[in-house]
Structure 1
Amino acid sequence: MTELPGTGSTDAANPAPAPTILCVDDEPSILSALRRLFRAKGFQVRVAEGGQAGLAVLAAEPIDLVISDMRMPEMDGVTFLEQVRQRWPDCMRLLLTGYADITSIMGAINRGEIYRYIAKPWDDNDILLIVRGALQQRDMVQEQRRLQALIKAQNDELKVLNFSLEVKVAERTAELNQTNAALLGANEQLKNNFITSIKIFTSLIELRASHLAGHSRRVADVARRLAQKLGLDNKPSQEVFVAGLLHAIGKVGFDDELLNTPLVMLNTAQLQVFRKHPARAAQLLLPLPELKGAAEIIVAQLERFDGAGYPEGLAGKKIPLGARILLVASDYDALQIGTLAQRKLAPSKALAAIVDGSGKRYDPEVVGALAALMGEAGPAAAAVQRPADTVRRVRDLLPGMVLARDLITPSGLLMLTAGHVLDEAVIGKIMDFEKSMGLRLMVDVEPAAP
């Protein structure tokens, strides 16, 4: 920013040049008075006795601000300031008038887009304040442009980096481990470049597995829409959105097998590792007070509405509303991309699975908001009836049995699809899941052949 005269310099070794002011008036006495006033305050001053002379000065050297009289022969102030706006739009424009001519003033505002108009005779202190205000506004606009250009350059660099990472598939794991270590020491950079750092966080896991591409972004979008649907104001809605972007960063240390195995197929040891990722994410975000609200949401994302979740076993409204929203949004997308179950579900079936878990895994109020957002009929549409003569306990399953219906947990998670032929390994995994989750699963199988 330009350091204005009389405001003190922030760099004594390299003081900023004094702004240059052009005064345009057909009265020499007015020009002399303005020149004395501004030079005494440290400004560089140029004068011109008319519009054409003023345009010539502007063409010859950079001018920061123009003060023009309204009534001048040959070219009035409105016409002059309009040409200044068209040819030198960054030059600030002030109108000096001794007439209460509203029409002319409006012309200067509309055609010349002036910053302010000043009535004759002026007060020296007032005109100095107006000039300094105009120059400060000009500097702020230029600084905004600089920052926008810087952000664009950073975004372009990120695009190049992402492309490079996609090409170097063989080096992904090593690079991600290095990035994870770097992230632990990147707190200060995160504060200075909040949104860019969040995008780097969310890309880490998605680079490891192609099916995760866009997952965090979609979860964040649905979570924010749910928050708004439930009447949350801007700040908590934004916290839910940020939590959606960052909800999976605790998985950054997962090995490839754990990262690529659907949740319902994890063994007991893998489940124990998986359940720690919200706490790991909260630890990563702990040094950042700006993310405290999002971290509180993320750490509770595996809590269940019925109290059977992790890590605290919270139930109902004791679970932060943001965490209840995040779980619904995350599972709704995860069901569609295959990270919860063996098969990817269509959006309508994913919604049906969420609705089926209402009151158990999910908050019914949040489920209702999701159904409303997605245009579905509600819980009744997802009801599934089981024929009693084909229902078996997990312990009664035998190799060779064929599933008659999709195997879905009470919380709405799809484990196996209809038509799947059971073997000992699959039955063992179902038993491990049932035991580790504290569930009692009932399985629909095809009737035995006669």
Structure 2
Amino acid sequence: MTRTIQRTPVSSQGDGRGGGLGQEPTDIQQDAEGRREPYKVLIVDDETHILKAVQRLFLGQGYHVLTAPSGAEAVEIFREHTIAVIISDQRMPGLSGAALLNYVRKKSPNTVRIMLTGNNDVATAIEAINQGEVFRFITKPWDHDEFLKIVGLAIEHHELLISKERYEEHIRAQNTKLSVLNAELSDLNEDLERRVEERTREVVSRQEEIERLYRELQGSFDATIKALVSIMELGEVHVIEHCQRTAERVRMFCELLELSDDECKEIERATLLHWIGLINAPPRVFEKPVEELDEEAKASWEFHTVLGQQAIHHVPALREPGRMILHYLRRHDDPSFGADQVDPATGQVYGEAFVRGCQILGICSTFERVRTGLRGNERTEVAGAVERGLKLLKEGAANGAFDPTLVKRFGEMVAGEMATTRTREVVVGFNELRPGMVLARPLETAQGIPVAPRDMIITDELIARLGRFQESNGLNEIRVWG
């Protein structure tokens, strides 16, 4: 879901050349009553009718829209304004869209970059990703509602980047103060015991503050993941449901293997985003085994790990999950992908935990992919999908694709679940939810917004998340397998 951003209404009239719409406000600031000026969005396209169309699209949306007919003029505007979001066409005379977004990335990293193009080719995508690290693509002609939703998500991402920067500055300042305090403590002698104790208490307090800020910073990264997941909701519905269900499966498997919390968290983050490269894939990619896909669908599948890794590479905290997405389909018997082998792209040794994480993600995703392809909703079909998924994993373990030991442990875990699963639907109230229950039907808010897919296993974390929906909007009828 996209949260609502309060904006100050802005007039929608403008001359289309850098002057923006309505009376020119200064860069983002607070007025006398403490309200923020509207965010500035820069549209760059050499076609005048495109600029006018976008201006009409943003009427009444609360943004301050600036326009430029070329990359060179956009650069001039950028030197005079603080831009929250830039939307640039790719093919323009002189400075290309990819080159312009690369300039913006270097000069203003917090400006979110969106590519507007009518060329849906891989070369354009790779150039834009590598040079400008774009947030999203919008193709011509566009859907108005989707266009506005993407810009709303871009504004949220812009706010996250600013918050992250502030947190990091605060932490650096606190670390500097802590270093000064430690230097002072080292100079005290035995005659200053009382002062040493007072200073020590102060250091402990500062350390707790730093740890609190670090937890908030980690929370901002989790918010980044949620923003990316919300972007995935714009694509094929199979993508988000598969990733959420696979993440729950990964969490259970990691607990069974007794892996550390940090290792589990890294794999789970990669799992939530591992199909982000399939957002625009045709539906048939999800409905057939990989070996039965046609050439177009197979190309989408084979390229999705690269697109997924590139999409989150510019977020420092997500670079390791991005590497895991890139390698999660690597075979267990691949001699170049062992724990002691070197990643040619980074020069780093893969490491035992990383290779194990890729295998866990690959096993869980392969198992859940069978269920993702189902069109029916009968419980018997789900049971059949479980059997087919286990069969695929056993075949993969036999031919070297998967680690046989991990596949065996995974099979034992699923067998234990199946032994306790019954086929009767039971209606329960929110206060009756308990960890271990399994949703018999997709769960929605009272407004019909989906919040959890069918067959998701109830955990303490999920109950807490559902509780927030229950308090704010209410939940529809909850049905579990009894």
TM-score, structure 2 normalization:
0.36
Structure with bigger gyration radius: 1
